[in-house]
Amino acid sequence: MQAASAAQLPRSILVIDDGPDNRMLLEAILSRAGYRVLLAEDGERGLRILDQESPALILLDFSMPGLSGPEVAQRIRGQPHTSATPIILLTASTEADHVDQAFAAGADDYVTKPFDRRILTARIESMIRAAEDRQRARKSADLQVQRDRLLSDLQDAARVQREQITALPMTFPYGVISGAVVPCNHIGGDSLQVFCNPEHTTAVLIDVSGHGAAAALVASSVVTELRGYISTHSLADCFALINRQISARWSSHYACIAAVQITARGAVVINAGLPPICHVRQGEILATVEASGSPPGLLASGQYDATELVLEPGDRLIAISDGLTEPLGESADDIRACMSGLGLLSLSASHPSDHLAASIAKLFDGRELEDDASVLLVNRT
């Protein structure tokens, strides 16, 4: 037979009374009412029990040898783990000074002897319910504070992440780069970056596996590493270095990355794990660059091949994250539908980021995004 869970155990009540007859009577009344009864013959014994037990309520005799009821109540209120436990003082007197002492010591209520069983149990049940309501309210307030703090942290993290993404659209010597990132949560693992140097301009779309803060941290790390590599290494070597870095530091994540490096002669493109990169000319998809090589971090020994493209003025290269294609399927026709739905095949030179973000939202027709959705456009002028 399985033991009853804590939630199924009866609530306990501690009775502190030096009178054996009173203890016996209260034990009978409370047991019949469904409570687990703890008994103490004096204040010291009652305090020792409270070191081991957490009763729902304490019935405390006012007049006892040694520690009096008010003295015991003061000690109970002075302990953090019992400071909120309801206390009912049992007194044979209705004199005002007794009542004042009871409340001054921290009692929540008092009952005069001899007590009526029904009145006593009604008072007990009412006080326990009120205490439990207060406890739930405190927990709810604490949870709300934690939620507000977490939301504030997430908003700060989202702001930092937005600031790390290259401001787009951006004009460079051979064209215009535009794009947008729409995270499914406050922060996500998608990022757009542009790295410029005198020889070439490199636009990168990063889509880290997973969502939330962990994915955003990996994406930020990838951006930092790329910034250090891009001016001194070939694009293929950059991918190999990033693969080693993610494999060594982030064993539970990998990053799908598309990079487009534009020079005076054309473009060098690598697609590692993302949907096909589309080469668009005059509103039609001229060619696609399929994924070659595993996403960095997925396999320790990744190898990456670059594709060279000849770009004419007006040509466009489009990379998207799988957050845009997964709802539509993975075939080339669906990618074309996605491109058309976002208006990415049109001939305008650039798209503002807010326009692209609105197009993504329109494509999903109000449905909640299950993954971060990003798009990168490189327009040759």
Count helices and strands in the chain by DSSP H and E runs: 10, 16
Instruction: Delimit the CATH 3.60.40.10 region(s) of the chain.
Output: 165-380
Helix (H, G, I), strand (E, B) or coil at 99: helix
Query: What confidence tens digit (pLDDT) does each residue in 291-322 have?
Result: 988 999 988 877 899 999 999 999 999 999 98
Integer angstrom CA distances of residue 297 from 57, 239, 349: 57, 10, 35
For residue 130, the tally of other CB atoms under 10 A from its CB is 12
Give the C-alpha separation, 210 to 190, whole Å.
10
Residue type at 56 in one-letter notation: A
Angle, helices 353-363 vs 332-341, to 10°: value is: 120
Q: Which of 319, 335, 310 is nearest to 270 (CA)?
A: 319
β-sheet with 267-272: strand ranges across: 190-196, 201-208, 255-262, 267-272, 307-309
Instruction: Delimit the CATH 3.40.50.2300 region(s) of the chain.
Output: 6-138
Q: Please give the structure tokens belonging to residue 357.
A: 């973000």
Rounded mean pLDDT, 41-66: 94
The dihedral region occupied by 330, where left means phi > 0, alpha psi between -120 and 50, and beta the remainder, is alpha
DSSP state of 296: B
Tell which CATH classification among 3.60.40.10, 2.60.40.1170, 3.30.479.30, 3.40.50.620 matches the domain 165-380.
3.60.40.10
pLDDT of res. 8: 56
- pTM recorded for the entire structure: 0.62
What band does 269 get if pLDDT is binned at 50, 70 and 90? very high
What band does 359 get if pLDDT is binned at 50, 70 and 90? confident
Q: Which class is domain 6-138? A: alpha beta
